[in-house]
């Protein structure tokens, strides 16, 4: 009799503890299959919520760091003399600076690592904007490291990322030196440099002259320096 019961199809009980992905004898999926299938969705939703909460915490910490260094009494006192037009002009210049800096960095990366197709101009703009935020909170060296790390997230190697950041920083310093040299040539009543005005002007002028001379000797019209760096990094 026991043998007859074992031979009957109705006596077969599906195992509820093994998620084999098959349906039961009546064509209904097992409960374990539904639970296993729902786990990835729940995990993804939890990760997104955790990431969103982390972004809120970081934003709140940045606002707290900035606001704690501001004197609200002094700000309220100077509000009557606040010029909205100059403030709008300053904000516009600051906003226009980010896409220009992103264009410069994107051009450097494309010369060093032309295979990094994921690093588009929009992605470089996002990297530059994030770097501009961190540059206000952390030291400059840390900010440059964060920028190089973000470049690697878009398919750029560590060597190309670090080299691109170094070249971009060098170009920025050269532009600042050029602006400082031009400003020092203009007539001004500034007495901060005291008797070192001519010496500072000579130092900036010498740096610019050496840079231009080096640039001309290397034939910058063709990106040989970038190609040489690319070969070294391969």
DSSP letters for 89-117? HHHHHHHHHHHHHHHHHHHHHHHH-TT-T
- What per-residue confidence (pLDDT) applies to 41? 63
Give the mean pLDDT of 7-35.
47
Rounded Cα–Cα distance for residues 229 and 160 (Å): 9
- What per-residue confidence (pLDDT) applies to 50? 86
17 against 118, higher pLDDT: 118
10 against 105, higher pLDDT: 105
Cα end-to-end distance, the chain, whole Å: 77
Based on its alpha-carbon atoms, the radius of gyration of the chain, rounded to whole angstroms, reads 31
Q: Is residue 112 over pLDDT 80?
A: yes
Lookup: tokens for 145: 């490291």
What domain count does the chain have?
Answer: 1
Rounded Cα–Cα distance for residues 34 and 38 (Å): 6
Each residue of 89-111: b (16+ CB within 10 Å) or e? eeeeeeeeeebebbebbbbbbbb
Mean pLDDT of the chain: 75
Give the mean pLDDT of 198-210.
84
**CA proximity to 61, closest of 127, 134, 126:** 134
Q: Is residue 181 part of a domain?
A: yes
Q: Is residue 114 part of a domain?
A: yes
158 against 213, higher pLDDT: 158
- What per-residue confidence (pLDDT) applies to 106? 92
Rounded Cα–Cα distance for residues 121 and 126 (Å): 9
Q: Is residue 171 part of a domain?
A: yes
Q: Which domain holds residue 126?
A: 97-233
Q: Is residue 31 over pLDDT 60?
A: no
Give the mean pLDDT of 220-231.
50
Q: Is residue 50 part of a domain?
A: no
What are phi and psi for residue 150, nearest 5 degrees? -65, -30
Q: Is residue 18 over pLDDT 60?
A: no
- Over pLDDT 90: what percentage of the chain? 7
Q: Is residue 45 part of a domain?
A: no
Give the mean pLDDT of 15-40.
49
132 against 13, higher pLDDT: 132
Q: Is residue 211 part of a domain?
A: yes
The confidence band for 74, taking pLDDT boundaries of 50, 70 and 90, is confident
The confidence band for 102, taking pLDDT boundaries of 50, 70 and 90, is very high
Rounded Cα–Cα distance for residues 80 and 88 (Å): 16
Who's near 134: CB < 8 A, 6+ residues apart? 142, 143, 146
- What per-residue confidence (pLDDT) applies to 80? 81
Instruction: Compute how many other C-beta atoms are within 10 angstroms of the C-beta atom of residue 195.
Output: 7
Q: Is residue 23 part of a domain?
A: no
**CA proximity to 233, closest of 175, 172, 156, 143:** 156
Q: Is residue 67 part of a domain?
A: no
- What per-residue confidence (pLDDT) applies to 65? 80
């Amino acid at each position: 009799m026991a043998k007859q019961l074992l031979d009957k199809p109705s006596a077969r009980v599906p195992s509820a503890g093994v998620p084999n992905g098959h349906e039961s004898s009546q064509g209904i999926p097992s409960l374990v299959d539904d639970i296993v299938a729902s786990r990835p969705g729940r995990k993804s939703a939890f990760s997104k919520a955790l990431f969103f909460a982390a972004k809120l915490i970081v934003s709140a910490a940045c606002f707290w760091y900035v606001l704690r260094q501001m004197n609200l009494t002094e700000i309220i006192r100077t509000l009557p003399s606040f010029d909205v037009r100059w403030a709008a002009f300053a904000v516009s210049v600051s906003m226009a600076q980010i896409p220009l800096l992103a264009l410069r960095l994107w051009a450097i990366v494309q010369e060093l690592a032309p295979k990094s197709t994921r690093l588009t101009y929009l992605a470089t703009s996002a990297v530059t904007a994030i770097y501009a935020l961190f540059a206000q909170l952390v030291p400059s060296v840390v900010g440059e490291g964060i920028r190089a790390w973000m470049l690697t997230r878009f398919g750029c190697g560590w060597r190309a990322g670090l080299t691109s950041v170094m070249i971009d920083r060098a170009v920025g310093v050269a532009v600042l030196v050029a602006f400082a040299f031009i400003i020092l040539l203009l007539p001004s009543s500034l007495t901060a440099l005291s008797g070192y005005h001519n010496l500072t002007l000579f130092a900036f002028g010498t740096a610019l002259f050496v840079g231009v001379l080096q640039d001309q000797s290397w034939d910058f019209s063709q990106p040989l320096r970038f190609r040489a760096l690319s070969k070294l990094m391969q």
